[in-house]
Amino acid sequence: MPSAIFRIWRGAVAPRDAGPAARHDAGFVDYSLEITPGMVVLDAVHRIQAEQAPDLAVRWNCKAGKCGSCSAEINGMPRLMCMTRLNHLPLDRPVQIEPMKTFPIVRDLVTDVSWNYSVKRRIRPLAPRPPDAADGTWRMQQQDMDRVQEFRKCIECYLCQDVCHVLREHQGFDAFAGPRFFTHIAALEMHPLDRDSRLRELREEFGLGLCNITKCCTKVCPEYIHITDNAIIPLKERVVDEFYDPLKKLFRRKKGSAPA
């Protein structure tokens, strides 16, 4: 059976803080493992856990790409460990696995993503209009929901947050909600039932203006959500209309403006 080397970050200090000469309590450790057909990176981590390092910390749940728990950086790319096949990686050199760099480390491959939960709590929830169909519910057309459904595919893996330079390089946690929450807000703003508006906060609290449309977030999204084209750009347009061009605002309100 073929084997491969897995170079895994170990320790409670983040790679960026450990410095070039990693301290004795944090650094990469190589594990050699036989591999079998169809294996994904998470399988390798689990096997290492069972056979070589029972205290290797990793967060996961579904192992089917549905829960968004197992985010990490594999050979430098933000990815879900459970959806990264080994036969898509070069195995003649070590497979490097490290925690997401943008968030504080807990231990090994696990990071503290609680900041994301606190951002979500600050976003005002759906404010539906009263039911208007005779049976006390609503009628909604599929085409009006397609866009919202795209955003709601989000599994909250926070890979887009991990890769966005506003958070990753500039640590803009206080002034910026990040791409995940721009899609969340877009889903609320474009929801056929919603009557509220979150445009003021987008501009003042959530730092939409700090996004310079690099599209890095879209590239890493495992759900293939068009974060920039379908969420961020239309939100930017709405903010402009709302605060600088009141006439256009009348046309665009509550419409998922032209898809890219």
In the bound state with other proteins, the residue whose beta carbon lies nearer, of 176 and 181, is: 181
Q: If binding is defined by CB under 6 A, does position 154 make contact with ligand SF4? A: yes
Residue 9, beta-bridge partner list? 28
Residue of 13, 67, 210, 239 interacting with other proteins (CB under 8 A) = 67
Q: If binding is defined by CB under 6 A, does position 238 make contact with ligand SF4? A: no
Q: How far apart are CA 109 and CA 162, in angstroms?
A: 14
Residue of 4, 33, 39, 80 interacting with ligand FES (CB under 6 A) = 80
216 binds, among ligand SF4, other proteins, ligand FES, none (CB under 5 to 8 A by kind): ligand SF4
Binding-site size for other proteins (CB under 8 A) equals 59
Q: How far apart are CA 89 and CA 87, in angstroms?
A: 5
Residue 8, beta-bridge partner list? 29, 97
Q: How far apart are CA 237 and CA 258, in angstroms?
A: 11
Q: If binding is defined by CB under 6 A, does position 48 make contact with ligand SF4? A: no
In the bound state with ligand FES, the residue whose beta carbon lies nearer, of 83 and 123, is: 83
Q: If binding is defined by CB under 8 A, does position 91 make contact with other proteins? A: no
Q: How far apart are CA 242 and CA 260, in angstroms?
A: 21
Q: Quick one: CA torsion of 212, 161, 206, 198, rounded to 10 degrees?
A: 100
Choose one: 117-125, 139-147, 199-207, 215-223; the region binding ligand SF4 (CB under 6 A).
215-223
Choose one: 6-14, 49-57, 213-221, 234-242; the region binding ligand SF4 (CB under 6 A).
213-221
The b-or-e profile of 185-216 (16+ CB within 10 A means b, else e) is bbbbbbbebbeebbbebbbebbbbebbeeeeb
The HSE-up count of residue 140 (CA atoms within 13 Å, CB side) is: 18
What phi and psi values does residue 133 have, to the nearest 5 degrees?
A: -90, 160
Applying CB under 8 A, the residues found at the interface with other proteins are 12, 36-40, 43, 49-50, 54-69, 83, 85, 106-108, 110, 112-114, 117, 120-121, 125-126, 128, 131, 136-142, 145, 148-149, 152-156, 188, 191, 193
Applying CB under 6 A, the residues found at the interface with ligand SF4 are 68, 154-160, 163-164, 166, 179-180, 183, 211-217, 220-223, 225, 227-228, 232
